[in-house]
A = this chain, B = another copy of it.
Amino acid sequence: MEKNASDTKGQTESELKAYVSRVGEDAREASLAMASLSAEQKTKILHAIADALEKDRESIQAENALDVVDAKQNGISAALVDRLTLNDQRYQAMVRGVREIAEAEDPVGEDIEESVRPNGLRLIKRRVPIGGIAIIYESRPNVTVDAAALCVRTSNAVVLRGGSEAYRTNSALVDSMRRASTAAGLPDNAISFVDSTDRRAVEYLIKLDECIDLVIPRGGEGLIRYVAEHARVPVLKHYKGVCHTYVDAHADVPSSLAICVNAKCQRPGVCNATETILVHRDIAKQFLPSLVDALRAEGVEIRGDEHVRAISSDVVAAGDDDWGAEYLALIVAVRVVDSLEDAIAHINRYGSRHTEAIVSSNLAAQERFVREVDSGVVMVNASTRFNDGGEFGMGAEMGISTDKLHARGPVGSRELTTYKYVVCGAGHIRE
């Protein structure tokens, strides 16, 4: 029932460091061994993981119940306790997720491009695993399983490091997955777990650039900043979603209303919900009164600039902090802009490179917005809520990247791969 082959809890700083290094080296070795797995083998392993999680459900939920009791005793917020809780419905959804990943297309080995050079050399750009991936996360224990399953699918060795509040749950989940997967042929330590709640373990792990090829932090801004500041390994992060919807001068009013309301209200607590609505001054008089009414009807608090307030006097005055705020709630900032250019400048100043939308029937305006807005995903006449792995047809996702490299937008299984060049000759030598 050991969590890793190298399973010793670090006590002193140097012991902890040596332990984390061993976890990294084991992951590197596992990642090399995974290169020989076929898609069929990985499918079988993933179903074996799902089977084990089903079989071990009661004992894992019992561990989760202990974590939840502790969390409540430690005064953790109700929202966090809720995220920590692995109830039946969530548990089943988690297992179903593994089966979906088992049945999903395997991106590894795909030839992305192929060409023949004038000298006859055949050049193939082939999709390959990244290698060792560290996932540093908080609260939601389903991340443990989602991340492990996506990494098995993509032949990456994964090193998991969840939050201390979910330690027992994550530990039990990893135990179950490790036993089942190695029995089904997954190399040892392809799924591993940093068995320490000491925060320094994270710092040591994300400096192991000889063993770990990518670190993905998932959680609050504090965690993500900590990882970004200390990592030597490349980081794929999702800071926050400060999404904008811009209603252009040439916009259909009913459609603009529907998009703005959907983008703000359909699920306000998620990262692809719109936080700021920008309205071109030429359409403001026509559009704003009905926007204010529609948002009010949904219970949204509106924080507007002076132009918005001139149209609807009981709108709250927006302060400087409202531009760029990630409310994750039924609150929206609304601003009137003089031009498309000003809308773009506002977004590039205050946005988080997550998702921006333009509503416009004018092709030139659409094209300029798409080109000049510096964001991973740009919507034209559609709600920002569509920036989502499922909506993109990717299946399971690890999150949505707000970085510019190596992946932007939803991070699915393809985004957990890289490429290598395979060059085939017939005794070619260079003149």
Contacts and interface: CB of A to CB of B under 8 A. Distances in A.
Nearest to A374: B32
5 contacts: A36-B371, A115-B393, A258-B427, A266-B429, A381-B427
Nearest to A122: B380
A421 B378 contact: yes
A427 B252 contact: yes
A197 interface: no
Contacts of A87: none
A260 to B, nearest CB: 10
Given A214-B405, A404-B418, A408-B421, A428 B234 contact: no
Given A115-B393, A381-B427, A420-B377, A405 B234 contact: yes
Contact of A386 (B229, B374, B425): B425
Interface of A: 32, 35-36, 109, 115, 117, 121, 123, 126, 130-131, 209, 213-214, 228-229, 232, 234-235, 252, 255, 258-259, 261-263, 266, 348, 368, 370-372, 374-383, 385-387, 391-393, 403-406, 408-409, 418-430
Contacts of A380: 422-425
Given A381-B424, A429-B258, A405 B406 contact: yes
How many copies of the polypeptide does the oligomer hold? 2
A358 to B, nearest CB: 10
Given A266-B430, A382-B427, 20 more contacts: A35-B371, A117-B391, A117-B393, A121-B386, A234-B235, A261-B429, A266-B429, A375-B420, A376-B420, A376-B421, A377-B421, A377-B423, A378-B423, A379-B425, A380-B424, A380-B425, A408-B418, A408-B419, A408-B420, A409-B420
Going nearest first, the 4 A-B pairs with the smallest beta carbon separation are A382-B425, A262-B429, A255-B427, A382-B428
B385 A430 contact: yes
A209 B234 contact: no
A248 B230 CA distance: 43
Contacts of A393: 115, 117, 123
A428 B263 CA distance: 10
Nearest to A428: B382
A424 B420 CA distance: 32
Contacts of A252: 427
Given A404-B131, A420-B377, A391 B228 contact: no
Contact of A32 (B32, B348, B391): B348
B232 A425 contact: no
A405 B405 contact: yes
A379 to B, nearest CB: 5
